[in-house]
Each structure stands twice: as structure tokens, then as C-alpha cells.
Amino acid sequence: DEAGNDSPPVVLDRLTAPDRAANIPEVVNAAPDAIATIAERFMDDLNYVRAGTDLFTAGDVARAEEMFRRAVQANATNDIAQFCLGNTLAMRGKCAEALTAFTRAEELVARDIYACRRGQVLRELNRLPEARAALERALRINPQNAEARRELEQLR
């Protein structure tokens, strides 16, 4: 105000995650109706993955899927976002879509867990020769992957 007093801060609890801060300037040299909306330009693929992981852990798989889709849309080369999307889709019974996400993650970065999860989804889709090949690839990448070894034994 004219005397130099400022207003107390306002908590923006619905604008950010609990461990994040938001700072919207109170003083803007513009007409009162100049700002119609505030865009989420600060959100990137990593923030969406973080939000999706929190939602997935809390059991809100549908909203987690939405966040992981946003992460992939923001950065299609984020292998972790692709992998998380695949896990969420598989959990929701969307195996064909999960296979696409796991395949993309593995194309981006050759990790044993990506090949293993791809093999598990292929098994769910009853594509057993492809499942076996994916699980064998997981073991070539990491011979210590017990999950891939167990899954492969179940296919024999």
C-alpha cells in the first residue's frame, strides 16, 4: 500500500506438489483483467514422471497414466517416462499399449528391466517365442536379472 506494507502470503496448495514452491508475482504493471490464465510452463517431462510416480505409489493408477502420457508427450525420448507408462498400462490391462511403451523405452536405452517387462507383456499377449527372445535379451544385458530368469523358466 502507500505506506509500504505488503499483504500476507497466500498458500497455493492446489497449484504445486507439497514439496515444490510456487511464486506468482502480486505486483504486475497491467490491467486487472490482463492475465486470463496461468500456464504450466514450468512443468516438464521430469515433473510429470515425478507426479505420475507419486500417484502410482498412492494407488491412483488412472491419474498416474495421465501424468506419464504427459511426460511422453513432453519428451518422447525419455526412456523412464516410456517405461513408467508401460508399467501403468500393463497394470490397467492395456497390454498392447504397454508393449509399445516398453519397446520404445528399450529402443532408447538397452536396459534389462525394459526387456524383461517387454517379455512379460508378450507372455500376457500369448506371443511366447517373442517373450522368450525378450527375456533372453534381458539376461544378455544382465545375467544377474533373477526376474527374467524366473520368467524364462516358466516359459519352458
Contact 94, 113 (CB under 8 A): no
Contact 104, 78 (CB under 8 A): no
Contact 82, 102 (CB under 8 A): yes
Residue 6: φ, ψ to 5°: -105, 165
Identify the CA nearest to 104 among candidates 126, 66, 72, 139.
Answer: 72
Residue 61 pLDDT: 96
In 3-state terms the chain splits into helix, strand, coil percentages (rounded to 5) of 60, 0, 40
Residue 15 pLDDT: 65
**pLDDT beneath 70, residues of the chain:** 11-28, 38-42
- Distance between the two ends of the chain, CA-based, in angstroms? 77
C-alpha distances in Å from residue 26, one per residue of 1, 4, 10, 23, 37: 12, 14, 10, 9, 15
C-alpha distances in Å from residue 34, one per residue of 22, 29, 37, 41: 20, 10, 9, 18
Residue 2 pLDDT: 83
Residue 33 pLDDT: 80
Q: For the chain, give the percent of residues with pLDDT over 90.
A: 71
